[in-house]
Structure 1
């Protein structure tokens, strides 16, 4: 009997929005249309802006309650459920790949998916029937995150969809004081990032705080841009064919989302 070889999966970076994304008239449909174009994953590996922990941690490997890591929203956002299967086999593969490279790994078995993971997954895979594993970012250093992505890249040949989940621009404090529309700093950084990715200028991206216009204003803290570097590492340092699947702005923030491979 011939073994079924899983299809190689792309690597994604997506802007995940916030819980109210579900009520947006456009964005949920964009995410759903995107997932419909992808091969069906055997499992999904999520790296979210909302989990920083060192050493690198593996979240729940069985279905666990979601982590509602936000405050001040209406009650119904805390009632969302996403009971995806756990991914213990994927967790074991991640341990082997990273520990084999000398990277320490820990387990946090009671941590469910946070909103950087489940908010987009609810729209992309609403049946919640694909195993999901979330891992932490042990650092915000772009070079170290790219190295983690490189080590995880072989999982793509096993049918694993690797997703870095952040926000292409993210400065809520500046938004609160900047009035309506798209702030100049958000538009400028988005345009710069689009061109740097198109040119495969990895050196510029790695030093985005200094080499981009308004970099420190677009990302006063860099956790929402950081997952991009895991995705870049998993995609051969961005050498694979890249597609800008979603662009535009949501509440003044760039929702640029990318596919490699």
Structure 2
């Protein structure tokens, strides 16, 4: 197969209930998948798999992990039977280790909802292999950006790199739910994030905890911000981003999505 170039993207996966609701972010992801019919595989960096060092899952048939509780029973019946790709997992680990970053392979782990929720919407036929790359427990923005730089080559190898997290993810700070309002502080952080992405301001994004407005509210626990930094890094040094979707969900959940590339 002729190798293609696929720009890394970041998507906000919201709550696990997104597949059951008719909301703008869901409809966006369903349409987004139609743009990637020729992709050979997906490497997904999900906010819901954190390890001490980078790990990729090399599983032929990854299970669907229902890593949440308290939601409608029908969610727990969802199975997303996409294949894995041990070959892509090995290639990813090689690139990461070649950059001087330790990386391990997990031969058992399946796909958490940070991966299968957007993948099920983008590729409903489960006909695209999916591999996951973990975020790291230290939640260091610079090191997650470096992780992205290490895997830049994959974008030219028919692999779509997707960071899956949340543009604004105030879990534990703001009350979230149907009918909740979007607060001004959330809008201010969201606006700052989009400007920084569009300008390719790596330093600002890596230092968002000191620079951004209300970072402690927008990301009380910043696991959902790390995949964005890795996706940005995967587009290479000097990359910028364009916003490809914007909406709000359950009040303060920012559902923005970005595509990254060289200006």
CA shift, 1:194, in A, is: 1.0
Please state whether the residue corresponding to 1:196 is helix, strand or coil.
Answer: helix
Find the aligned partners of 1:259 and 1:141 in 2 and give their Cα distance. Answer: 22
1:126 paired residue among 106, 110, 124: 124
2:232 match: 232
Distance 1:250 1:63, change over 3 A: same
Write the deviation string for residues 65-122 of structure 1: whole angstroms up to 9, x where unpaired. 2111111111111111111111011011012112222222222222110010000111
Please state whether the residue corresponding to 2:36 is helix, strand or coil.
Answer: coil
Find the aligned partners of 2:14 and 2:237 in 1 and give their Cα distance. Answer: 25
Find the aligned partners of 1:43 and 1:180 in 2 and give their Cα distance. Answer: 37
1:34 match: 32
Find the aligned partners of 1:145 and 1:237 in 2 and give their Cα distance. Answer: 14
Query: What value does the CA root-mean-square deviation take over the aligned residues?
Result: 1.7
Find the aligned partners of 2:146 and 2:214 in 1 and give their Cα distance. Answer: 26
1:115 match: 113
Distance 1:76 1:83, change over 3 A: same
Can you give the 5+ residue segments of structure 1 that lack an aligned partner in the other structure? none
1:219 match: 219
Write the deviation string for residues 159-185 of structure 1: whole angstroms up to 9, x where unpaired. 000011000011123322898210122
Q: Does 1:135 align with 2:133?
A: yes
Find the aligned partners of 1:95 and 1:173 in 2 and give their Cα distance. Answer: 33
Can you give the 5+ residue segments of structure 2 that lack an aligned partner in the other structure? none
2:166 match: 167
Write the deviation string for residues 29-60 of structure 1: whole angstroms up to 9, x where unpaired. 21111121235211100100111102211224
Distance 1:198 1:64, change over 3 A: closer
Find the aligned partners of 1:14 and 1:229 in 2 and give their Cα distance. Answer: 12
1:44 paired residue among 28, 42, 45: 42
CA shift, 1:206, in A, is: 1.0
Find the aligned partners of 2:88 and 2:242 in 1 and give their Cα distance. Answer: 26
1:98 match: 96
Q: Does 1:204 align with 2:201?
A: no
Write the deviation string for residues 100-148 of structure 1: whole angstroms up to 9, x where unpaired. 2222222222211001000011100011011110011124111111111
C-alpha contact (below 8 Å) 1:232/1:238 kept by paired residues: no
Q: Does 1:6 align with 2:7?
A: no
Structure 1 stretch 30-39 or stretch 42-51: which is displaced more?
Answer: 30-39
- Work out the number of aligned pairs and report it: 257
Distance 1:258 1:177, change over 3 A: closer
2:21 match: 24
C-alpha contact (below 8 Å) 1:9/1:39 kept by paired residues: no
Please state whether the residue corresponding to 1:34 is helix, strand or coil.
Answer: helix
